[in-house]
Amino acid sequence: MTVSDADRVMYECGVEVLHPGGRDKTDEMARACQVGPGSRVLDLGGGRGTTACYLAHTYGCDVVAIDTSPDMVDAALRLVHERGLQDHVSVVQADAHALPFASGCFDAVLIECVTTMLDRARAFPELRRVVAAGGYLGDLEMTYRVTPPPGFDADLREAWGGFTTMPLDGWRDLFVANGFEVTHVEDFSDRMEHLGRTFVKDLGVAGVARLTGKLLARPGLVRDLAGWEALLRRGRGVLGYGYVVGRRIAAPSD
Ligand SMILES: C[S@@+](CC[C@H](N)C(=O)[O-])C[C@H]1O[C@@H](n2cnc3c(N)ncnc32)[C@H](O)[C@@H]1O
């Protein structure tokens, strides 16, 4: 079972977005990235397209959502059609490590809970490449608030298919090392919620009942989710959440 399997089941049950902080943080990042009418935006690892549709509808921008998972791409395409946003949102199956886009073709790249799963040494130069000079990159991820206890890092990596993270300052440094001037850093770790409570809030009682039904049909998934919940409990006070926004500095070659 991979994280993507669990993502899919949760999405099927009505979980709209799989990142902490919900829509409020999406709005904060979009504003910090100066997203507005006509902006060309990349939603990297966009899942089922909820954020891409929301951004296009709310800010009047044009969004390309990419994801490696064909299921997510299908779900996102369905949503785009349902919402009648075909002229403003396109969905492409693509890998963040090798983006099929011309250099400098986006005014903003927004990322929510994806780069912890990537080879960042390969992905960040790609991100830099596709952002126009003066454009923005915003990335919201799980972080370490303090040094994790021995073994915790390895357990997270194993449980979540290669997941690795670092303190928010480490994310900030990554932006700087890749040619971005950091404009915003936000730590909202204090709002980290119990996984179960988050689902109840997102799905309501009926949704939780549906999720429970689907889970009971997949004992392996129940076991994995229980393991993740235990990991998050172990990580209380250790794991946090935050985002960084940076503006791409123009290079002499631009
Ligand atoms: C935790 S989900 C977050 C989805 C969405 N951003 C949200 O907030 O709901 C991570 C997503 O990243 C996608 N993903 C993982 N690796 C990727 C890669 N190398 N390139 C593009 N997408 C990727 C997964 O398929 C999944 O849909």
| Sheet-wide strand order for 239-248 | 89-93, 62-67, 40-44, 106-112, 131-144, 239-248, 180-187
The residues, ordered by sequence, that sit 6+ positions from 154 with a Cβ below 8 Å of its Cβ are none
Residue-level pLDDT at 124: 98
pLDDT tens, position by position, for the chain (254 residues)?
A: 455 566 666 666 666 666 677 788 899 999 999 999 999 999 999 998 999 999 999 999 999 999 999 988 998 999 999 999 999 999 999 999 999 999 999 999 999 999 999 999 999 999 999 999 999 999 999 999 999 999 999 998 988 888 899 999 999 999 999 999 999 999 998 865 555 666 666 667 777 777 777 777 777 777 777 777 788 888 888 999 999 999 999 877 77
Helices assigned H by DSSP within the chain: 3-12, 22-32, 50-59, 70-82, 120-130, 152-159, 168-177, 195-216, 219-234
With a 6 Å cutoff on the Cβ, whether 10 touches ligand 1 is no
Q: List Cβ neighbours of 218 (8 Å cut-off, separation of 6 or more).
A: 9
**Residue 148, pLDDT score:** 93
Query: How many angstroms is it from 251 CA to the middle of ligand 1?
Result: 29
DSSP character at residue 184: E
Q: Hey, what amino acid is at 247?
A: R
104: left (phi over 0), alpha (psi -120 to 50) or beta: left
Model pLDDT, residue 52: 97
Question: 19-148+162-193+237-248, what's its fold?
Answer: Rossmann fold (3.40.50)
* Residue 49 CB less than 6 A away from ligand 1: no
- 3-state secondary structure at position 149: coil
**Every domain of the chain and the residues it spans:** 19-148+162-193+237-248
Is any ligand 1 atom within 6 A of the Cβ of residue 139? Answer: no
Q: What residues have CB less than 8 Å from 226, skipping those under 6 apart?
A: none
Ligand 1 centroid to Cα of residue 253, in Å, is 31
Query: What is the longest distance spanned by two Cα atoms in the chain?
Result: 57
Give the count of beta carbons closer than 10 Å to the beta carbon of residue 149: 11
| Ligand 1 atom with the shortest distance to the CA of 111 | 6
